[in-house]
């Protein structure tokens, strides 16, 4: 652990986020084509850049509107840790909750990005596998938002979610990577306020929810929208699905009066689920897709930053869509994150639509990010 004692949370600053997650160095190479199994490709050179989903999202939160961002994770006591933590500190992220492990190396990711901006990534977990839930103690309070991903041990994720909910914090979980989605327990799915996934991760989450809750009809041939509706209705969690160049959709479940706390999926469930759709922000003249690595993290960080500020979900979604697109125009998982003012300005060009699932639009309060009293 860091020698610095955990500081007691004071009056909650507007936009307070605590990220518990991974931190690593990205070893980035840019060949013309991605390697296929058994094939070696050559790249002109390579770069060492700060990365890790947890660190990337904490960095994006700090750049995109949070007054207070704390990052909790683990690194080795090595030179890689200086690169990772130094970049976070430069963005204003509090890293006193990071454990320094002499027995484990700082995590490293091999990131291969081809000429079209597509990527392949493999992460050597190192110290990320040693992140512990007790590192959160004294660093989160009522009014904060906890943000987690799937690059730390699942038991750590589950324990941190329980700690956050016990003190009245909101919780967002980016189920990425989703290979271990089935390991997430029922209590986590019940507790989370936001589940954030891409369309591929959504399939794994849907299978996990079906297995845990034992509800619903087979959904093997269902559309992404149907899968998201099922997850939102079953867990009563707001589900955010990123769709790459097609933007993103938010699925907000409604529980009919008198219905049980968890209602099975039905053919008409879509009518009881509000859907907010946001387009990807358009590229401008002279811009091009350079690197898709970190675009999803920029989206998540921007979205949670604005949730913590108390913005409407419509506004959170527009800001996140702009941040995700703009991140693709620069190299690096963190280097691609633009500043808050530029993202705010670009978000004005984001197209949006909504299907309230009923004849009339819901009250405006329904679209507010979850204030503590709502939780």
Residue 94 is given by DSSP the state: B
For the residues 253-273, what does the mean pLDDT come to? 53
pLDDT attached to residue 243:
93
pLDDT band per the 50, 70, 90 thresholds, residue 236: very high
Q: Where are the domains of the chain?
A: 16-37+45-370
For the residues 346-350, what does the mean pLDDT come to? 91
d(CA 226, CA 272): 12
pLDDT band per the 50, 70, 90 thresholds, residue 357: low
pLDDT band per the 50, 70, 90 thresholds, residue 266: very low
What distances in angstroms separate CA 278 from CA 251, 317, 356, 369, one per listed residue?
12, 7, 14, 16
Tokens in use for 26? Answer: 């990205």
pLDDT band per the 50, 70, 90 thresholds, residue 216: low
Its pTM surpasses 0.75: yes
CATH of domain 16-37+45-370: 3.40.1190.20
243, 320 in Cβ contact below 8 A? no
pLDDT band per the 50, 70, 90 thresholds, residue 339: confident
Among positive and negative, which fits the CA dihedral 231, 234, 235, 240? positive
Beta strands in 99-190 (DSSP E): 99-101, 107-113, 119-124, 145-148, 170-174
Among positive and negative, which fits the CA dihedral 86, 87, 89, 95? negative
What distances in angstroms separate CA 10 from CA 17, 68, 70, 84, one per listed residue?
13, 11, 13, 27
For the residues 69-98, what does the mean pLDDT come to? 96
């Amino acid at each position: 652990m860091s020698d610095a004692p955990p500081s007691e949370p004071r009056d909650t600053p507007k936009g307070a986020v605590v990220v518990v997650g991974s931190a690593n160095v990205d070893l980035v190479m840019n060949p013309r084509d991605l390697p296929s199994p058994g094939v070696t490709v050559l790249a002109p050179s390579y770069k060492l850049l700060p990365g890790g989903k947890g660190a990337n999202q904490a960095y994006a939160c700090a750049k995109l509107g949070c007054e207070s961002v704390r990052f909790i994770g683990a690194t080795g006591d090595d030179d890689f840790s200086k690169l990772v933590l130094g970049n976070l500190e430069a963005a204003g992220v509090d890293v006193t909750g990071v454990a320094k492990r002499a027995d484990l190396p700082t995590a490293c990711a091999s990131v291969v990005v081809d000429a079209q901006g597509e990527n392949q990534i493999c992460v050597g977990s190192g110290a990320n596998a040693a992140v512990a839930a007790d590192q959160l103690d004294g660093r989160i309070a009522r009014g904060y938002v906890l943000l987690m991903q799937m690059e730390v041990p699942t038991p750590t994720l589950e324990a941190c979610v329980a700690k956050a909910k016990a003190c009245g914090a909101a919780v967002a979980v980016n189920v990425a990577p989703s290979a271990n989605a089935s390991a997430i327990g029922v209590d986590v799915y019940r507790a989370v306020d936001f589940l954030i996934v891409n369309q591929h991760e959504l399939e794994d989450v849907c299978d996990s929810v079906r297995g845990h809750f034992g509800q619903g009809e087979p959904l093997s041939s269902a559309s992404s929208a149907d899968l998201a509706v099922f997850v939102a209705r079953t867990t009563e969690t707001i589900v955010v699905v990123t769709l790459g160049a097609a933007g993103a959709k938010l699925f907000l479940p409604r529980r009919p009066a008198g219905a049980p706390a968890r209602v099975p999926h039905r053919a008409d469930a879509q009518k009881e689920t509000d859907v907010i759709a946001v387009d990807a922000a358009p590229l401008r003249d002279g811009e091009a897709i350079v690197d898709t690595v970190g675009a999803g993290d920029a989206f998540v960080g921007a979205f949670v930053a604005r949730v913590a500020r108390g913005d409407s979900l419509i506004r959170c979604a527009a800001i996140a869509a702009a941040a995700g697109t703009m991140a693709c125009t620069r190299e690096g998982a963190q280097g691609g994150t633009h500043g808050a003012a530029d993202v705010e300005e670009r978000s004005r060009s984001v197209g949006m639509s909504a299907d309230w699932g009923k004849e009339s639009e819901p009250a405006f309060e329904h679209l507010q990010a979850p204030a503590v009293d709502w939780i």
